[in-house]
Homo-oligomer: A and B are copies of this chain.
Amino acid sequence: MVTGPGTSAADLLAAADRGSVRAIARLLSRVEAGGRRAAEVAGCLTGRPRRGVIVGLTGPPGVGKSTLTTAIIARLRAAERRVAVLAIDPSSPFSGGALLGDRVRMGEHSTDGGVYIRSMSSRGALGGLSAAAPAAADLLSAIGFDDVLVETVGVGQNEIAVMRLADSVVVVLAPGMGDGIQAAKAGILEIADVLVVNKSDHEGAAVTVRDLKSMVALGRTGTADPGAWRIPVLSTTASTGAGVDDLLTALAAHRDQLAAHGGAQRRRQQRAEVAVQAVLLQEIHQALTSAAGQSQLERAAASVAAGTTDHHQAARDVLHWLLAATG
């Protein structure tokens, strides 16, 4: 089937189900565009099972997250699983055209039809998380990918928020990072389901592992599912693949644990909250920055400038307009 701008979301979904990379790219672009087109895609997914497992990978820059992601993809492909990668980057503004670059980035998998790689901005409307990131992860988990790896490139609040999308979160550290204190300060240890010390062949790796194990034993991490899951601390050398099998075993164990204790449902709920809030802020932002929204704002401000009302009352007037405009 030839797809074009006029192709319905339902037709694109059917093509994506048959493995069309082009259809997947178009669906993701509509999700990124937001508004009516994104809503149409979301509507078509209602009731569809989400077969794909969403795994988040985060950590400070320089720990080898991309190399580790590449090593994980190799293992998953060897097991004949279809893999999608969402690289979430605070600096990438619109990434529809970045697809080629993304494929090049993870070189060895770029010609493998069973791997789909896309980068996306974490930055959404009104300073929050992009509405596209949760919607894209959801879409990929619904169109036949067995694994959706969400990798963050930055370490800001939005990159931490994006991890709330995942069924399992892998926090990647490296030796000699002040024993994870830096990571703890940034808040990323709090969201870990599995802790990985990558570059385990580097000096100080054993010390970092020991310190992280003490932190875990003291209950200083893992607020995600307190009590139910003991966070493993693993060592990997992504460049050689050492330890990656153990990481996949730990992720499978976490998945089993979630399934056995209602955690999968909790994560689904959490993911839906993130998605709903992101769309909400996007809708408000779009209404306010539209020509009609700007003219409402100008009119309200003119009354304030003229001294006939105050800015609180004027804000209320704009809110009422917003209700009518978005309803």
Contact = CB atoms under 8 A, between A and B. Distances in A.
Interface of A: 38-39, 42-43, 45-48, 126-128, 134-135, 138, 265, 268-273, 275-277, 279-281, 283-284, 288, 297-298, 300-302, 304-305, 307-316, 318-320, 322-324, 326-327
7 contacts: A42-B313, A43-B312, A46-B307, A272-B305, A272-B311, A276-B300, A276-B315
Q: How many copies does the complex hold?
A: 2
A320 B310 contact: no
Contacts of A275: 301, 304, 311
A127 to B, nearest CB: 2
Given A42-B311, A310-B46, A276 B301 contact: yes
Given A273-B301, A304-B275, A305-B269, A316 B327 contact: yes
Contact of A319 (B39, B301, B327): B327
A89 to B, nearest CB: 18
B127 A315 contact: no
Given A276-B300, A279-B314, 11 more contacts: A38-B312, A42-B310, A43-B313, A269-B301, A271-B305, A275-B311, A276-B297, A277-B288, A277-B315, A279-B312, A280-B319
A275 to B, nearest CB: 4
Contacts of A284: 284, 319
Nearest to A38: B312
